Amino acid sequence: MSKNTKLIFGIGVVLLVVIILAAGIRNHFMRDESSDKTWSDSGNTMQAVYLKKENGNSLFVNLEAEYPFTGTIPEGELYDEKGEKIKEQDLKNGDVVNIYGNGIMAQSYPAQYHGITKIERTKQASQKYTQKYGHYLDELFPEKDPAQLPYLNVCYTDELASVAVMIPEALSYTWTYEENGERTTITTDAPHILQTEPTEVTKLSEPMSIELEFDEKPESIQILSWDDSLLGQYQDSTAEIQEGTSVEVQENEKGNPEFTAQPGCVYLVQGQWENGIVDYSFRMPAK
């Protein structure tokens, strides 16, 4: 072997060793670095802490960006540390979870993650995180004004995501509350649901299971439905308004009312609490 050949061979061996060492160092740091990351390479997996108040209000905090957000926990896709299925009520304040989904976060405060597809608990009741982020619960869920009515979220799951639509205000109500030792009753004189413009939840092409999520569970609930083609027909009419059709309601595993919505219908939900009765309205137009 000539001198030049030996020299070239030696340089090649040295370069190969340097490359191998560099790759090993790079992999070492990449492993150490990734252990602290809260997002997977796909960008659609997030590490978060679950925070929950005694009254049931809950939210998540993204542990990387440290912002609060709400999200619907997908039914049948919640798991513990061993990979076994658990229910939402099994989650405790301070539980650390991995959240899988489409990665699309609605820009609001708190943010809203409608596209959650799966949640895995990785650590239970971390006091470190409840102490650090617990202030979000007090900020976003302050003690309720006794005059404030229960609010309603209409929840459903389609091929894209689990969605919760908040009904912005009650249609009508009779509500009694006590403040500073005085009892007050407020009663509204609202128009019939067919004389209003109910909130649109989603367009349907076929029947869909709908969950009603109240911040305070009602003692009882009744649902009536009408064909949404009747909306607006009684604005200036003295004709007797058609009665609604009673809808069958069941309680799901979370203890929330659930029913099957039909395309092209408007719904009146009447809840009864110790403090009174509140009516909510929404519609499901046909596609």
154-196 confidence digits (pLDDT tens): 999 888 778 899 998 999 999 999 988 899 999 998 899 999 9
Q: Residue 237: its pLDDT value, please? A: 64
Over 80: is that where the pLDDT of 40 sits?
Answer: no
Measured from the Cβ of residue 103, the count of other Cβ atoms closer than 10 Å reads: 14
Query: Is there a contact between 282 and 154 (Cβ–Cβ < 8 Å)?
Result: yes
Q: Mean pLDDT across the stretch 62-87?
A: 94
Band of the pLDDT at 57, cuts 50, 70, 90? confident
Q: Could you tell me the strand order of the sheet in which 68-71 lies? A: 78-79, 116-123, 95-101, 45-52, 58-62, 68-71, 111-113
Over 70: is that where the pLDDT of 4 sits?
Answer: no
Measured from the Cβ of residue 163, the count of other Cβ atoms closer than 10 Å reads: 17
Q: Residue 8: its pLDDT value, please? A: 43
Over 90: is that where the pLDDT of 67 sits?
Answer: yes
Q: Mean pLDDT across the stretch 53-73?
A: 92
Q: Mean pLDDT across the stretch 70-77?
A: 90
What is the rounded CA–CA span in Å between residue 202 and residue 284? 6
Q: Residue 240: its pLDDT value, please? A: 85
- Which residue type does 206 have? E
Give the mean pLDDT of the chain.
85
Distances (CA, A) of 65 to 68, 108, 192: 9, 15, 46
Query: Could you read off the pLDDT of 110-165 as tens digits, one per residue?
Result: 998 988 999 999 999 999 999 999 999 999 988 878 899 999 999 998 887 788 99
Q: Residue 120: its pLDDT value, please? A: 97
Percentage with pLDDT > 70 across the chain:
84
Over 70: is that where the pLDDT of 65 sits?
Answer: yes
Lowest-confidence range among 48-62, 76-90, 113-127, 224-238? 224-238
What is the rounded CA–CA span in Å between residue 66 and residue 49? 10
Pick 19 or 204 by higher pLDDT. Answer: 204
Band of the pLDDT at 11, cuts 50, 70, 90? very low
Pick 160 or 40 by higher pLDDT. Answer: 160
Give the CA-trace dihedral at 159, 163, 169, 170, to 10 degrees.
70
Helix (H, G, I), strand (E, B) or coil at 27: helix
Q: Mean pLDDT across the stretch 103-110?
A: 85
For the chain, the domains span 45-140, 152-284
Pick 57 or 283 by higher pLDDT. Answer: 283
* Residue of 147, 141, 145 whose CA lies nearest to 275: 147
In this prediction the pTM is 0.59
Q: Mean pLDDT across the stretch 264-279?
A: 97
Q: Mean pLDDT across the stretch 198-226?
A: 96
Q: Mean pLDDT across the stretch 7-26?
A: 43
Strands 245-246 and 208-214: unpaired
Q: Mean pLDDT across the stretch 28-43?
A: 37
* Residue of 69, 53, 218 whose CA lies nearest to 143: 53
